């Protein structure tokens, strides 16, 4: 694999990368095994290309065979019965927060040992109540920032449950509240807002929608457009709404510590941007996209037509990755593999803080990683009858 107009330069972590540097200039092919190459393009962007996994057998990360924490029941204590967990995160004191989307919409906080500490929210439109929680994250001092879509407002809560303030948001940056949604929190308290670009009236044809991310003050005032990039692959007809392509490309993105991590869908790659949208680094490894079996393509096409959508041919290849990107406190970047029916386990590829691709971590097929900590991961476990719960697993070479 070659990259045009790149200059080789010494990597920041010579102990890790020195053995893998190889000349990829001018279309020259690397000779012999290659671990990783750090390059800088003409615009000053670092490109770290690791053709294959670099973990030695005794370094491979694994999840512990049993969770170190498990919260959630199919039937029992109300605080442990969840309908749909959309967000889960640690607070600075080690407590764990789980966000129940609706039925009822509330945030449940548990101690580090899994004991229920308190529940915040509930159904309604009064102070500290919600209709549906579509985004929640801890801000400075563990203040909980919660977006309530149907009540069109952002609620700021003290971690002990008291309402700090409520910001009505009938409009977000001049658009109706159902057009733009908070999806991240910058360290200065401004919001990362996702614009819904899938709107009727698209020019007929097969294309990818543009995902636009904005920076907005907590009062709803537009600061700037941060980034626009290709997202969902769709087909538009002469009439009606655009239809997603079955197994079509879709980007993944995540805001962490004022860095925006974006994966394009067509390659196992993560591009790292600063808070202004400037591209800083590109982390890459070689992974071929798997072909979609014809039977699976037909089944997905049939599901769409049964939902009343126009017939749309499925992609011939699965996307290169799934929808999840997570970044650990030490700078490890996790990118989810695309989950295919029949896979016995889920996979997350891990890049180290220098951008080197280490390899894949296997996770249970019904476990979705929500946050990566130091030596552990927090996620949502789908149990029997698709009842969700929280689990924490140790992760590392000795897990």
> 172 pLDDT band (50/70/90 cuts)?
low
Query: Where does the chain have alpha helices with state H?
Result: 14-17, 294-306
Q: For 194-213, what is the mean pLDDT?
A: 77
Residue 189 to residue 110: CA distance in whole angstroms: 25
Residue 181 to residue 179: CA distance in whole angstroms: 7
User: Given this model, what pLDDT does residue 17 score?
Assistant: 37
**Segment 228-248, tens digit of pLDDT:** 999 999 988 777 778 899 999
**Two tokens, residue 101:** 């989307």
User: Given this model, what pLDDT does residue 399 score?
Assistant: 75
In degrees, rounded to 5, the angle at the alpha carbon of residue 319 between the alpha carbons of residues 363 and 237 is 135
User: Given this model, what pLDDT does residue 110 score?
Assistant: 97
The helix/strand/coil state of 367 is: strand
> 124 pLDDT band (50/70/90 cuts)?
very high
Peptide bond into 254 cis (omega under 30): no
Residue 143 phi/psi, 5° resolution?
-60, 130
Using the structure block, give the residue that is written with the tokens 């290709």: 230
**Segment 40-99, tens digit of pLDDT:** 776 889 999 999 999 998 899 999 999 999 999 988 899 999 999 999 999 999 999 999
Question: Which distant-in-sequence residues (6+ apart) come within 8 Å of 134 by Cβ?
Answer: 86, 101, 147, 148, 149, 181, 182
Whether residue 265 contacts residue 250, with contact meaning beta carbons closer than 8 Å, is answered with yes
Residue 362 phi/psi, 5° resolution?
-80, 135
User: Given this model, what pLDDT does residue 178 score?
Assistant: 64
Q: For 194-207, what is the mean pLDDT?
A: 71
Name the average pLDDT for the chain: 86
Question: Is the pLDDT score of 12 beyond 50?
Answer: no
Nearest Cα to Cα of residue 158 among 174, 178, 141, 143: 143
Q: Are strands 388-396 and 376-382 parallel, antiparallel or unpaired?
A: antiparallel
> 171 pLDDT band (50/70/90 cuts)?
low
Question: Is the pLDDT score of 3 beyond 60?
Answer: no
Question: Is the pLDDT score of 169 beyond 60?
Answer: yes
Residue 109 to residue 115: CA distance in whole angstroms: 9
Residue 178 to residue 65: CA distance in whole angstroms: 42
Whether residue 91 contacts residue 97, with contact meaning beta carbons closer than 8 Å, is answered with yes
**Segment 110-119, tens digit of pLDDT:** 999 999 999 9
What is the dihedral sign for C-alpha 107, 87, 85, 231? positive
Using the structure block, give the residue that is written with the tokens 């997202």: 231
Q: Are strands 37-41 and 46-50 parallel, antiparallel or unpaired?
A: antiparallel
**Two tokens, residue 91:** 């607070």
Q: For 120-136, what is the mean pLDDT?
A: 93
The helix/strand/coil state of 398 is: coil
Question: Is the pLDDT score of 362 beyond 60?
Answer: yes
Q: For 374-382, what is the mean pLDDT?
A: 96
Q: For 324-346, what is the mean pLDDT?
A: 95
How far is it between the farthest Cα atoms of the chain? 66
Residue 378 to residue 120: CA distance in whole angstroms: 20
> 27 pLDDT band (50/70/90 cuts)?
very low
**Two tokens, residue 221:** 């005032």
> 168 pLDDT band (50/70/90 cuts)?
confident
Using the structure block, give the residue that is written with the tokens 């680094």: 281
3 state SS for 277-319: CCEEEEEEECCCCCECCHHHHHHHHHHHHHCCCCCCCCCCECC
> 161 pLDDT band (50/70/90 cuts)?
confident
Residue 156 to residue 63: CA distance in whole angstroms: 35
């Amino acid at each position: 694999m070659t990259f045009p107009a790149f200059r080789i330069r010494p990597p920041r972590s010579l102990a890790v990368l020195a053995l893998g540097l190889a000349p990829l200039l001018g279309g020259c092919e690397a000779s012999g095994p290659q671990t990783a190459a750090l390059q800088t393009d003409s615009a000053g962007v670092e490109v770290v290309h690791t053709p294959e996994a670099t973990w030695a057998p005794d370094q491979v990360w694994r999840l512990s065979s049993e969770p170190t924490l498990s919260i959630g029941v199919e039937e029992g204590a109300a605080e442990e019965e969840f309908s749909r967990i959309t967000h889960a995160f640690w607070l600075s004191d080690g407590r764990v927060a789980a966000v129940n989307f609706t039925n009822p919409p509330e945030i449940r906080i548990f101690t580090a040992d899994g004991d229920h500490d308190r529940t915040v929210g509930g159904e309604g439109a009064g102070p500290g109540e919600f209709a549906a929680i579509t985004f929640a994250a801890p801000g400075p001092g563990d203040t909980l920032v919660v977006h309530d879509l149907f009540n069109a407002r952002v609620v700021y809560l003290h971690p002990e449950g008291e309402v700090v303030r409520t910001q009505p948001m009938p409009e977000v940056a001049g658009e109706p509240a159902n057009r733009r949604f908070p999806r991240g929190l910058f360290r200065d308290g401004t919001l990362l807002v996702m614009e819904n670009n899938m709107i009727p009236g698209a020019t007929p044809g097969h294309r990818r929608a543009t995902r636009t991310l904005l920076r907005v003050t907590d009062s709803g005032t537009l600061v700037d457009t941060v980034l626009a990039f290709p997202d969902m692959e769709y087909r538009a007809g002469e009439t009606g709404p655009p239809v997603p392509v079955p197994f079509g490309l879709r980007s993944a993105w995540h805001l962490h510590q004022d860095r925006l991590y974006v994966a394009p869908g067509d390659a196992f790659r993560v591009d790292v941007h600063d808070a202004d949208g400037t591209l800083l680094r590109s982390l890459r490894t070689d992974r071929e996209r798997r072909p979609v079996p014809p039977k699976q393509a037909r089944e997905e096409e049939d599901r769409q037509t049964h939902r009343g959508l126009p017939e749309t041919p499925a992609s011939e290849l699965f996307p290169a990755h799934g929808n999840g990107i997570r970044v650990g406190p030490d700078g490890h970047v996790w990118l989810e593999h695309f989950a295919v029916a029949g896979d016995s386990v889920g996979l997350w590829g891990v890049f180290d803080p220098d951008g080197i691709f280490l390899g894949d971590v296997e996770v249970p097929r019904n476990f979705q990683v929500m946050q990566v900590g130091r030596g552990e991961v927090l996620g949502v476990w789908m149990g029997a009858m698709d009842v969700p719960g929280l689990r924490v697993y140790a992760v590392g070479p000795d897990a």
